[in-house]
Copies of this chain bind each other. A is one copy, B any other.
């Protein structure tokens, strides 16, 4: 059935070509209707992530998404209520994956700085694997603001939890508990801008240079330790 589709029929301008490299083969595996249904839905989500990652939310039309997913435009509306619906779903679904990844990779740090280092590196590992994630995250501020706020709040809350725990262990004696929230936003901010500059800075995808993460950790450790020179 999917084999019958002729992608050549597409009339989409290809000025911003959307890569098809990693399209899963959804029409093979599942047998039951429910399985197939899930497969198609995930396929659409995958395609939407690709498209948004490459051309942005604004240009992410149903036509482009369904073309990449190899389904008819009408099929889209069997799985999502509207264009906005899938755009709103994108960040939560990828955000969940990101948090899982970071959670797995940041186990076992014995103080905040160690934890932050692992989590920081895990974040950059994640965006190496899901290079579209970053654009999806950033543009969500305009195009899926609710999802964006929820994502930020979730991350910030996680940060706060760890900061508080370490604070209770006596780690940052120069700070007061009510200052920790601002700090959590500073740390999130930094990840983001370092990614803009060093990962995506020239249009291509690079791994974050090791010395940048070193500098980052040095600054964070100093900043949190909080000792002034005499």
Contact = CB atoms under 8 A, between A and B. Distances in A.
A216 B138 contact: no
Contacts of A57: 142
B194 A193 contact: no
A211 B183 CA distance: 12
Nearest to A201: B149
A221 B225 contact: no
Q: Interface majority SS on A: helix, strand, loop or mixed?
A: helix
Given A152-B196, A190-B189, A228 B219 contact: no
Contacts of A186: 189-190, 193-194, 216, 219
A219 B139 contact: no
A223 B227 contact: no
Q: Give this chain's copy count.
A: 4
A185 interface: yes
B182 A212 contact: yes
Interface stretch (A39-47, A96-104, A171-179): A171-179
Q: How large is the interface on A (under 10, 10 to 19, 20 to 34, 35 or more residues)?
A: 35 or more
Contacts of A183: 215, 219
25 contacts: A58-B142, A139-B142, A142-B142, A174-B218, A174-B222, A179-B211, A179-B215, A179-B218, A182-B198, A182-B212, A185-B190, A185-B196, A186-B190, A186-B193, A186-B194, A189-B190, A189-B193, A219-B224, A221-B228, A222-B224, A222-B225, A222-B227, A223-B223, A225-B227, A227-B229
